[in-house]
Every structure is written in C-alpha cells, then in structure tokens.
Amino acid sequence: MFSSVINVRVQTEDFAVDRIYQQLLNQSPDCGAICVFVGKVRQFQLDDRGQNLQQTNALLLEHYPGMTERVLLQLADQAANRWPLQHIQLIHRTGLLGPNEQIVLVAVSSPHRADSFAATEFLMDQLKSQAPFWKKQHHLYPQQQQRQNQWLDSKPSDLTAARRWYSPEQLPLLLKATDARP
C-alpha cells in the first residue's frame, strides 16, 4: 500500500474548495476517486417548536490549540491505516462564523471510490466527537441580543455515529468514557 500524504490545518480564515480540489486532482495521479466534504453554518433553521424557519445565529468556535491539531493528525493516521488513501486534507475553522459560512473540510483521494466515501465519513464522524472544538451561539440581530449566548450541547446521535466504526475492544477512551455519567 502507498503511504498517504496528510495535511491538517486549524485556521480562522476561510478556505477555497476549488483550490484544494485542484491540488488533490494534480497530486493523485494513480487515484480514481476524490471525495470532498464541507460542513457549514446553516442560514435558516426551524424554531424551537419545529414550525417556522428563522435566521440562524452566528457561531463562535473555540478550540484547544495544540491538542486539536494532534487529534486531527491521529484521526487522519487512523484513516490512512484503514483505507488506501493517497491524500488526506483536513481544515477546521475557529473564531466567529456567520450564517452560511464554511466550518470544516475533509478531502481525500483513493484508487477506488468506496474507500474515499468511507474515509470521509469516518473522519467527519470522529472529528465531531473527538476533536476539542466547542460551538457557542452568537446572536446577530437586535431583537435577540437580550437573550444570552448559549454553548451548544453535544448530540447523542453524533456519538452513535462515531462508535459504529469501532469494535467494543477498540473503542477510543473518549467514546467509551461518555457512557459513564459522573
């Protein structure tokens, strides 16, 4: 199996998907597949009662500098050990992100498409429940400004998605620990 080229970035600036894709295209000559995923802030979402569409708030993204990069590299390494990937590119933004702004990018290339699809999904599932990022709502509009900004809660469905890639014996500490309430 060929060795993978891994590139991980945590940054406040936006990223240009076309440039990243072009790089992967040029640098993956023996691959037949490139998979690019982008996670972004919603522009509209349903209100608390699930009835009306409303403008979303901006998000303030905090992270643990140093540990974040280390975890992302470990996850990319795991993906490279599971699938024959030529390139793995991870970018995660931090700071204040407005409605519709890009948050995260996962891009991989592989000889065949099934491996690229699987690796992309694996990386997003793990990143969401293992990388030390935290989102806080940030109200943009005057009528909402008297409401307090809230930290978002983690979703049980994200943990379930992350766990399905591991056998019980291999389950990472973070995914295991969250079973036990304090």
Interacting residues with other proteins between 109 and 168 (CB under 8 A): 124, 127-136, 151-154, 158
Identity of the residue, 110 or 126, whose beta carbon is nearer to other proteins in the bound complex: 126
Compute CA 53 distance to the chain's CA centroid, rounded to the nearest angstrom: 25
Can you tell me which of 50, 143, 168, 181 binds other proteins, judged by CB under 8 A?
A: 181
Interacting residues with other proteins between 9 and 38 (CB under 8 A): none
Compute CA 182 distance to the chain's CA centroid, rounded to the nearest angstrom: 27
CA distances for 117 relative to 102, 120, 148, angstroms? 20, 5, 39
Binding mask 75-114 for other proteins (x = CB under 8 A): -----------------x----------xx----------
For residues 132 and 67, the answer to whether their CB atoms sit within 8 Å is yes
CA distances for 157 relative to 22, 124, 129, 162, 163, angstroms? 34, 13, 10, 9, 10
Q: Is 81 helix (H, G, I), strand (E, B) or coil?
A: helix
Shortest gap between Cβ of 4 and other proteins (angstroms)? 21
Which residues would be at the binding site for other proteins (CB under 8 A)?
39, 61-64, 66-67, 70, 92, 103-104, 124, 127-136, 151-154, 158, 172-174, 177-178, 181-182
